[in-house]
Every structure is written in structure tokens, then in C-alpha cells.
Structure 1
């Protein structure tokens, strides 16, 4: 999997645009000809639901349980192709994910279960240019697993004062994973999301750029109803043909910036 880029899309605070960022960056990458796999590691299964998948029998939680039990898993049986968004996905299932998030705590080498699963399927997964992990909104063992298996971390941060204070805790957890389990992990950037014209939004973005200037993306994602409404159509905003869709252009710009940082192009 030398050329496959695994990116954890992470923030322990919910409602910051994490899942929306995952699907839109994934779809934008696919538009450029990249082969993309999304993996739903969120205990709320929001990404799976966005793509019209509910109660998936073959889900990532089930695969994690099998990995814990030292069973052989072929992830080809778990991958679902989404033609509309031009991506593949390994879905989550709500109850299974909630159980595994608890049960993993007592497992030996609990932070490396997902990495073992990835390594076991390296030949299959090497077909993808990018693998995006939609992580849970919590500093839990599932997030640890995602970070341990990832090369990069993309952090969506809502442009709101309440979204800023938890950020140092996430950065600390990433640093700890880097020191103990995954020396190659790198924060590829923080992207301000749900940006509007309010003073609170402006102040939060200024704080992000002031304190984390070296990793904050130039791209910002506006707060617009079209982004929320895209979930109703199960279609990423970046696939919209509307000429005035600023959010679509912003996600495409973010994706271009992301690729430039990773691939140097």
C-alpha cells in the first residue's frame, strides 16, 4: 500500500462538518480520476446513512470483531460501490459500532486492531489512491485505531467559539499516537467549516489562523443550506451542477489544496 494515502477525518466535537467533509473531499478526489474508498468509523453511522446504507450486515464493526478473534477477513465482501458519488464505502452499523467501541477497551493492543485489518487486506486496498476514514466525534479507542492506521489527519473545525477550545486535546492525542504507535502520522491541515459573516465566526477563524497558521488551509467552507440539503439527495455537494454553488467550489478548492500538500502537485 505504498502509494495509497490513508486520511483520518477527525474532530472529537460533533456537528463540525466532519462527515460532510469526508463525502465531499472523497467525491472531489473521484472527479479528478482518483480511486477512493470511504470507511465509516463513526458510531453514529452518518456517512453510511448519507450514502443510503442502513443496517449493513457486512460492516466495519463486524470486521473489527473478526480481527480481534484472529479470523481472516476479506474486505472485498464489505465494500459497497456508490455510483452516484463515484466512491466505494465500507459502511458502519450503529449497534455493532457502539458495542465494539466499548469492547475494544479491554482488548490487548486495542489501538492496533484496525491497522491489522488494513494490513491483512493490503493487496485489495492498494488499488485505491485515497482511503478516507470518517472518525467518531469522541476521543475514544475507535479514534485511536483510525489514527494508528493513518498517514494523515484532516481536521474540520467549525467556525464557532465552542469548537475551538477542544482542539488542543485532539492535537495532544495525535501527538501521543505519533510518539507511541504511528511515527509517520501527520496533520495535513485544519479546515474552517460552517463559516458565516458573524463576528463569532470571524473571530474563531482568526484564532485558528493565528495559533495554527502553519497547518490551517487557505480554503474555508461556508455555512449554506445546500450542504445540509445534499444529505436528502444522497449526493455530494461537489457533484452539483449549479453555477452559484459556492460550497461546491470551496470543497473542490480544499481538495486541490489537500492533494497539493500530500502529492506536491
Structure 2
């Protein structure tokens, strides 16, 4: 496993394809992971000093410890032994560029009655902070889950910290244990939209996805929706060809998008759920 704070970059592709399915509707799970270039210091909680993870901070009301057994990757993770309601952990400050769009993610194991969500704190040249909050919360599960969100930095922002807030249930004054690992920050504006690789989370929630001869993409979901849907389209090499948000008030979405011939992966984000499907475009 490469050092999360190193400069080495490697791509890992995991794919499952049912050769008996049709080209337009078969299931294809695709995951691209990059390491290196992550500006968050000690992003994998591998470095500790005096019982604390280096470059990380906590509110009063949080007890944490070094974890060696329950890890997402590497040798260590951060164990939140107990957390009072609405208490936070924080990264060290990171230099950023105002007006750029940033993607932030945490891996969390939340197998307790409680939840967590990401927020970001921006700082301008005067040091004045401004908070932005994700609307996605962790869910109780014995499996690691990735919490992720995107924000556009205020025009005058120069630094940020990324943070995770914990919430208790109605029955308890504290919550724990949580496990946290592999925090990542990426600048989506540092490269063009077409050149940047992204991570696709393998999920299944489409009934069908196909691209018609008129240049329209058809998405049909497995349930009626009444929510915003973020649709991203990726090329075979993992670079993004399109990203847009739609309000869907049915089980289907149809929109025009010019695509060249080739294989693409369509990802729909609906709240905390992510669905990925392969589509073949023939022009």
C-alpha cells in the first residue's frame, strides 16, 4: 500500500461484467483509486505522537485512540472511542485556491446508533472562518463506507480544514466507537473536467441505461424518485465527460448529451446512494 502522503500514483481497476447481458444494460462495477497528491497531512492516521494523530485535533467531549486492527488501509486508523453530540475532529490547515471546486472524502465505519457527516471550514486572509456542511450522513453498517462531498471555495478563501462531526441518538448522550481512515482532498479545478480521474462507487439501482440515436441518454431507476440526482458520465479511462444535477419526479430521466462513440460509465448520486452502469455509444 503506497504512503497516502507520498507522491507515487497508481491506478487499480476492479471490474465485473456479465457477458450474457446486453451491451446497453449489463452491470459493470468500476473503481479507480489514486494515491499521492493528497494535501491532507497524515490522511491515513499512520503517524501518532503522545496518544494523538499528528496534524489532527478534536473538540473537548471526544475520546480517541490509535487503532491497529480495524483499518480501511495501511496499518492504522483513528478510533473515536466516545463522542458527545455535535463534537468534531479537524485536520490541520491546508492551502487552497479561492473559487476552485474541491472534493473531500472520509472513510468511516459506523456500526453504532449515531451518525457522522463532513464539513469544511474556509479561512480568508483575515483568518475569518466560514463553514459549509455536507447533507450526507453515515449509516449504521458493519462495513466501511465512504462519505464524500464537493464544495466551491469562496473567492477570497486561502486555507481550509476538513472536519467530521458526530451525532448521538436520542437515547444516548455519547456515541462510539466510530473508526475513521483515508481522508482525501482533491482540487477539481486544477485540471480540466475532461482530464481528471474520479472514483466510481459500485452500486446497483438502475433498471436500464441506454443512449439513443438522437443523442439522448435514458436512465430508468428501480423506484419512483422525488429528489435531486447528480449524474456523472465517465470515459473508459476514468476521466469525466459530463456532470449535471437534475430534479427527478418519476422513475426515469431523459436528457440530451453529445457523446462520441465508445464505452462510458454513468454514475447517479441520490443522497447517500450511488449507482453505476455501463453504456455503449455507437455513432
> Could you tell me the TM-score, scaled by structure 1's length?
0.27
**Higher share of residues assigned strand:** 2
User: Which structure: larger Rg?
Assistant: 2
> Could you tell me the TM-score, scaled by structure 2's length?
0.25
Q: Point out which structure has higher relative CO (alpha carbons under 8 A, 6+ apart).
A: 1
